[in-house]
């Protein structure tokens, strides 16, 4: 996958994640606002309610309201009864006139302003509190269960969930403009079942002038903290993304550079080796022992340079996103490796034992070249770090659950506990390692394991030897 395609995928994922975070923050903030709106100033409303109840005990609407209602309604009870029986048209006119006079008198003699000022003073509510007092219903009870509506509020529209009956009455006092369920203090209904009596319903609302602003101030810290967290995440992402792009470009440049000079390196090395062999075959060199020794040095060092460069190339080729795999039989590959290494070490005191405990066909998807080079590195290490007169390498293949397990053991000098976690690091060399190496062997092994999606562990006891354990999933 090209860098531009990967970059596009990352950008799309980042935009989607950003939109998701913003949506989640808005959703949580909105729900927090609604919850606070429902519970806001509940304590203050309870105090107002209690004081208001005490102020209008045995009264209506506000202190003195009872007398106003009695003065306007009681003298008209007999007339209303007669008109309700005999003249509906004149009844409507009388009711309209009665409501008009009652409304004007109630507003003119409103004592609720002083009551609410006393409430604010007693409970230290502050000057930004306002109230609204509404008259919701006035109904007269006549004889024979007949009733006359002096005033009744309009019906609530179907589907209107934000309106309550108490919000639709006649305003008798107060400057609170926005009435809602949340700022309702109390709805009261004073009535009697006796003939020639009347029923009065009214409601009081109270709230701060700038309720919404106050609520926003309550949730502002949480909202700002969420914004800060999102901005921090974005900054970290951008920094990480830019660093990843830079590292990816550097890695691609390194890979391209190494690939481009492969031929240039291999050609002079091969030329040096051919020239050295030609020089070594000359009679003059064969008769001159010091000169022959120099040709041996050239041969050894050019071969060593070729091996080291090949190892670097292998590591570079494994640094990509995927390696080329093909079905390969682990049993056959290990057998070939063991046979080849036996031939290579036939003139030295190295014993190699291979045991296959797998009952099934051990075929998995892998890169055979990398696999054989990896096993070869482990065998080379087993010999290189073994100073005993008789060196033993044991290779075992077995089934371990859903994995094929390769165990490669030696009887070498072992690895100290403090170094077990370091042996796979790039360029790491043990302090006890007197061999000349770049510290890339085990790093190559680990890179190969990672590239294939396998796992590797190492167990070791000083002076007894080490065991490298590679687990290969059967379905890989």
- List, for the chain, all residue ranges whose pLDDT scores fall below the cut of 50: 1, 320-321, 434
d(CA 281, CA 283): 6
Nearest Cα neighbor of 148 from 93, 203, 70 is 93
End-to-end CA distance of the chain: 21
Structure-token pair, residue 175: 């400057």
> Which residues have C-beta within 8 Å of that of residue 427, sequence separation ≥ 6?
438, 439, 440, 443
Instruction: Give the pLDDT confidence score for residue 311 in this predicted structure.
Output: 59
For residue 227, the tally of other CB atoms under 10 A from its CB is 13
Residue 151 C-alpha from the chain's centroid = 59
Helix (H) or strand (E) holding 365: strand 363-366
Structure-token pair, residue 286: 């064969």
Instruction: Give the pLDDT confidence score for residue 289 in this predicted structure.
Output: 72
d(CA 216, CA 33): 7
Q: How many residues does the chain have?
A: 476
d(CA 417, CA 467): 13
Instruction: Give the pLDDT confidence score for residue 383 in this predicted structure.
Output: 87
> Which residues have C-beta within 8 Å of that of residue 256, sequence separation ≥ 6?
none
> Which residues have C-beta within 8 Å of that of residue 5, sequence separation ≥ 6?
none
- Which residue reads 């409501």 in tokens? 99
Nearest Cα neighbor of 454 from 387, 376, 367 is 367
d(CA 237, CA 412): 48
């Amino acid at each position: 996958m090209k860098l531009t395609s990967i970059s596009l995928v990352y950008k799309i994922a980042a935009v989607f994640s950003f939109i998701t975070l913003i949506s989640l923050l808005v959703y949580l903030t909105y729900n927090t606002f609604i919850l606070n709106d429902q519970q806001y100033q509940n304590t203050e409303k309870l105090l107002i309610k209690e004081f208001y109840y005490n102020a209008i005990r045995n009264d209506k609407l506000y202190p003195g309201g009872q007398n106003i209602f009695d003065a306007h309604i009681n003298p008209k009870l007999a007339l209303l009864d007669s008109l309700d029986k005999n003249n509906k048209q004149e009844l409507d006119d009388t009711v309209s006139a009665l409501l008009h006079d009652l409304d004007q008198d109630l507003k003119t003699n409103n004592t609720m302003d002083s009551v609410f000022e006393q409430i604010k003073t007693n409970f230290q509510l502050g000057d930004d509190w306002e109230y609204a007092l509404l008259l919701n219903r006035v109904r007269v009870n006549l004889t024979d269960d007949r009733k006359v509506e002096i005033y009744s509020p309009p019906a609530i529209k179907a589907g209107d969930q934000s309106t309550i009956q108490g919000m639709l009455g006649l305003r008798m006092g107060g400057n609170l403009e926005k009435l809602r369920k949340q700022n309702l203090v109390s709805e009261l209904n004073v009535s009697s079942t006796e003939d020639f009596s009347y029923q009065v319903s009214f409601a009081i609302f109270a709230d701060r002038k700038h309720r919404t602003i106050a609520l926003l101030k309550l949730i502002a810290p949480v909202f700002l903290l969420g914004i800060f967290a999102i901005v921090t995440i974005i900054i970290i992402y951008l920094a990480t993304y830019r660093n990843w792009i830079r590292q990816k470009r550097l890695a691609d440049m390194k890979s391209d550079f190494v690939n481009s000079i492969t031929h240039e390196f291999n050609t002079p090395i091969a030329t040096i080796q051919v020239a050295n062999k030609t020089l070594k075959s000359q009679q003059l060199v064969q008769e001159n022992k010091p000169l022959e020794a120099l040709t041996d040095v050239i041969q050894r060092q050019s071969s060593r340079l070729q091996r080291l460069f090949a190892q670097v190339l292998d590591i570079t080729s494994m640094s990509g996103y995927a390696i080329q795999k093909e079905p390969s039989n682990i049993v056959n590959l290990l057998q070939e490796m063991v046979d080849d290494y036996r031939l290579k070490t036939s003139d030295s005191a190295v014993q190699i034992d291979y045991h296959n405990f797998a009952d099934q066909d051990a075929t998995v998807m892998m890169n055979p070249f990398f696999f054989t080079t990896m096993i070869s590195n482990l065998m080379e290490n087993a010999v290189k770090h073994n100073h005993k007169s008789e060196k033993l390498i044991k290779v075992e293949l077995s089934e371990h659950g859903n994995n094929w397990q390769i165990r490669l053991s030696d009887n070498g000098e072992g690895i100290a506990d403090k170094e077990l976690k370091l042996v796979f690091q790039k360029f790491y060399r043990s302090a006890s390692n007197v061999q000349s190496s770049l510290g890339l062997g085990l790093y190559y092994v680990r890179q190969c394991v990672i590239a294939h999606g396998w796992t590797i562990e190492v167990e070791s006891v000083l002076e007894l030897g080490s065991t490298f354990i590679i687990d290969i999933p059967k379905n890989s």
